[in-house]
């Protein structure tokens, strides 16, 4: 084997052992890899949106649950507006085929009724408005809410749905889908124009209870025969299968309406539903109008005012 010499040197150059060459090569490559990795990290951290420590912290999912929005409820509203149908207008409570708003459960001025406005407001004059319309259905609610929102009331009371179930026949009742759309639109209109107004929603009365009470009176039976709420009150003495199935159909539809009222009200942080208080109320014949045995009498209006007041001033909605 011939020995190699370094330039300018007389000493022979000894070859490097093979193992040492491999070790040095690996070390160089490892060092280069560390440099490249560091450079990439530096560029990444320094670049916008590059996933630095702050970004990593933001990207990390929070283990804490998001706080649930709290419901807002003022038990002493400054003013009250009412929307709905003939019940809220006091129809047939004072005279035949006439509204009598002074005995309205919501905004009336009659001392015997002691309306909701009378119980909640120190002076209801100029601070309570009745925009309900006799014969109105849920589809009329958005227009009524628009009128109510113009006065920016502290609270709006809603009692709607009885006329949607009280139709010439059970087949003509408002569908649950349409009823929901009408209630939802009514609340949307109010929120768009008066976002801080509170809403108190009454359940739809039990129309089968109405039939049970009025059918015992021969005068009531004759009056109903003129065409009042035929979906429920037609042939009040008949107990055949068809009549019972028809009444059950109306009852079930009212239950469905009340479920809609509860669900839609629950979506609004400033809304309180009566949790079926009016629907469950076991009213008597004395609380029905002597003119039509259908609408509340003055005594019935007082009962409605009492129920609403208890629900509104409660710390939490009664179950």
Domains in the chain: boundaries:
80-313
* Separation of alpha carbons 39 and 195, rounded Å: 55
Q: What is the pLDDT of residues 184-233, one digit of tens each?
A: 999 999 999 999 999 999 999 999 999 999 998 888 889 999 999 999 99
The pLDDT of residue 198 is 98
Q: Across residues 8-31, what is the average pLDDT?
A: 43
pLDDT of residue 255: 98
User: For 101-110, what is the mean pLDDT?
Assistant: 98
Backbone angles phi, psi at 271, to 5 degrees: -120, 140
pLDDT band at 70 (very low <50, low <70, confident <90, very high): confident
The per-residue pLDDT for 69 is 77
Among 43-47, 99-103, 254-258, 273-277, which is the least confidently predicted range?
43-47
SS3 142: helix
Q: Which of 126, 123, 134 is nearest to 91 (CA)?
A: 134
What is the pLDDT at residue 63? 61
Nearest Cα residue to 228 out of 286, 159, 284, 166: 166
* Class of the CATH-defined domain 80-313: alpha beta
Place of tokens 């706080």: 67
Question: In 47-103, which residue ranges form alpha helices assigned H by DSSP?
Answer: 53-59, 86-89
Nearest to 160 by CA among 191, 130, 205: 205
């Amino acid at each position: 084997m011939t020995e190699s010499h370094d330039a300018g040197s007389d000493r022979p150059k000894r070859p490097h052992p093979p193992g040492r060459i491999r070790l040095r090569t690996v070390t160089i490559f490892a060092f280069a890899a560390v440099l490249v990795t560091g450079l990439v990290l530096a560029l990444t951290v320094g670049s916008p949106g590059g996933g630095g420590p702050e970004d990593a912290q933001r990207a990390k999912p929070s283990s804490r649950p998001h706080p649930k929005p709290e419901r807002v409820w003022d038990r002493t509203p400054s003013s009250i507006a009412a929307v709905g149908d003939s019940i809220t207008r006091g129809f047939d409570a004072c005279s035949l085929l006439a509204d009598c708003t002074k005995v309205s459960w919501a905004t009336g001025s009659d001392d015997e009724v002691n309306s909701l406005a009378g119980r909640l407001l120190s002076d209801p004059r100029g601070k309570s408005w009745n925009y309900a319309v006799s014969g109105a259905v849920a589809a009329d609610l958005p227009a009524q809410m628009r009128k109510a929102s113009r006065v920016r009331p502290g609270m709006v009371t809603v009692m709607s749905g009885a006329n949607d179930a009280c139709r010439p026949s059970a087949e003509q009742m408002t569908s649950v889908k349409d009823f929901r759309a009408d209630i939802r639109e009514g609340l949307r209109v109010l929120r768009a124009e008066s976002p801080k107004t509170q809403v108190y929603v009454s359940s739809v009365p039990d129309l089968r209870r109405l039939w049970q009470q009025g059918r015992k009176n021969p005068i009531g039976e004759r009056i109903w025969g003129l065409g009042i709420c035929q979906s429920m009150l037609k042939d009040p003495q008949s107990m055949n299968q068809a009549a019972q199935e028809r009444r059950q159909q109306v009852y079930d539809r009212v239950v469905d309406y009340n479920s809609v009222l509860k669900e839609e009200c629950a979506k609004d942080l400033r809304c309180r539903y009566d949790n079926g208080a009016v629907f469950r109320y076991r009213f008597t014949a004395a609380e029905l109008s002597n003119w039509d045995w259908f609408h509340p009498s003055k005594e019935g209006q007082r009962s409605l005012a009492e129920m609403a007041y208890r629900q509104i001033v409660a710390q939490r909605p009664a179950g």
